[in-house]
Amino acid sequence: MNKSVYMSITLVAVILGLVMAFQFRTTSGVDQGVPYSREQELITEKRQLERDMDQLREEAADLSAKLEEAGKGYSEATGALQSELLKIKLYAGLIPVEGPGVEVILDNLPESERPGGNPSLYSIKDDDLLKVINDLRGAGAEAIAVNGQRILATSEVRLAGNHININLTRLSVPFKVVAIGNATTLKSSLEIKGGLVEYLSDLGIAVRVESKDKIIVPAFTGGLRFDYAKPTQRG
């Protein structure tokens, strides 16, 4: 809050105290048999002091009102900052979110159902997951996670042996990709004729897409480091 407002109220309080003390002393002096002319002067001074006190009381009330208004302004400013911080965390993926969307399950076909040949040719690769993620983003997905790992702009999706690493976490089949957005649009973008579901199915990957009224996407829990990227200097 404004420090000057507190100082002003303190000053008014001190002045009121001095005026009241002086008034008491003046009133006491009237009762001690002072000359008539001096008594009239004291009465005049007393009335002036009373008017001054009334004015000081008004100023104190005005300052109190300003202090209360400043408090409201502080609360509003704090609320606005908290709202902005929440929005930043939302955009950065640092808080869990929920909403309608789709759930995509990707799994390797059983060996008995595979066309034959090298089994690794019919296993889910990091490129396959990236295609699903990018397709969902292109269709307007606002938040995406794979097996509980929130996908950010800095998230890596990388093949590591028989596993796929996302956010430095080893994941394995089946992969559950959840995305929040317009469920109809997201589902259609994947299942369109000649689209991604058809493409992955041709590779021997089992794909199932379901619309959901409520999808929960967890927050990103990894570390965020920027060793080289720095804010630009303005001016």
pLDDT per residue over 178-212, tens digit each?
999 999 999 999 999 999 999 999 888 999 999 99
Whether the Cβ atoms of residue 133 and residue 167 lie closer than 8 Å to each other: no
Task: Tell me what the mean pLDDT of segment 163-169 comes to.
Answer: 94
Same domain, 121 and 105: yes
Q: Is 179 within 8 Å of 215 (Cβ atoms)?
A: yes
Residue 117: predicted pLDDT = 56
The C-alpha atoms of residue 120 and residue 125 are separated, in whole angstroms, by: 9
The reply to whether 103 and 133 lie within a common domain is yes
Dig out the tokens for 40 from the structure: 């009239």
In a domain, 197, yes or no: yes
Rounded average pLDDT over 73-81: 78
Per-residue confidence (pLDDT) for residue 233, from 0 to 100: 79
DSSP conformational letter for 24? H
Q: What is the mean pLDDT of residues 3-21?
A: 55
Judged by phi (left if over 0) then psi (alpha if -120 to 50, else beta), residue 67 lies in alpha
Mean pLDDT, all residues of the chain: 81
Cis before residue 174, ω within 30 degrees of 0? yes
- Strands in 97-108's sheet, in edge-to-edge order, are 149-150, 143-146, 175-180, 97-108, 205-217
Q: Cα(128)–Cα(196) distance, rounded to whole angstroms?
A: 9
107-125: pLDDT as tens digits? 987 766 666 655 566 689 9
Say which CATH number the domain at 156 has. 3.30.70.1880
Domain boundary among 92, 111, 139: 92
In this model, does residue 98 exceed pLDDT 80? yes
| Rg of the chain over all Cα atoms, to the nearest angstrom | 37
Same structural domain, 139 and 112: yes
Number of helical H runs and strand E runs in the chain: 5, 8
What's the pLDDT score for residue 25?
47
User: Are 202 and 108 part of one and the same domain?
Assistant: yes
The predicted-structure confidence for 15-56, as pLDDT tens digits, reads as follows 555 555 555 444 444 445 556 566 677 677 767 777 776 777
Mark whether 82 and 136 lie in a shared domain: no
> In the prediction, which pLDDT does 159 show?
93
- Supply the pLDDT for residue 143: 97
Whether the upstream peptide bond of residue 119 has omega within 30° of 0, thus cis, is no
Q: Which two tokens stand for residue 94?
A: 């640092």
- What pLDDT is stored for residue 28 in this prediction? 44
pLDDT single digits (tens) 128-139: 999 999 999 999
Do 199 and 101 belong to one domain? yes
| Whether residue 165 has pLDDT greater than 60 | yes
Q: Are residues 108 and 87 in the same domain?
A: no
In this structure, is residue 180 part of a structural domain?
Answer: yes
Q: Which domain holds residue 199?
A: 97-217
CB 18 within 8 A of CB 26: no
Q: Please compute the mean of the pLDDT values over residues 151-172 and round it to a whole number.
A: 93
- Chain centre distance of CA 100: 21
- Together in a domain, 84 and 126: no
Task: Report how many domains make up the chain.
Answer: 2
Are residues 189 and 110 both part of a single domain?
yes
Amino acid letter, 126: D
Q: What percent of the chain has pLDDT over 90?
A: 44
Q: Which pLDDT belongs to residue 139? A: 97
* 70/176 same-domain check: no
Q: Are residues 56 and 101 in the same domain?
A: no
pLDDT at 168: 92
Give 27's contacts (C-beta < 8 A, 6+ positions apart).
Answer: 46
pLDDT band at 14 (very low <50, low <70, confident <90, very high): low
Three-state secondary structure along 55-114? HHHHHHHHHHHHHHHHHHHHHHHHHHHHHHHHHHHHHHCCCCEEEEEEEEEEEECCHHHC
Residues 80 and 103 in one domain: no
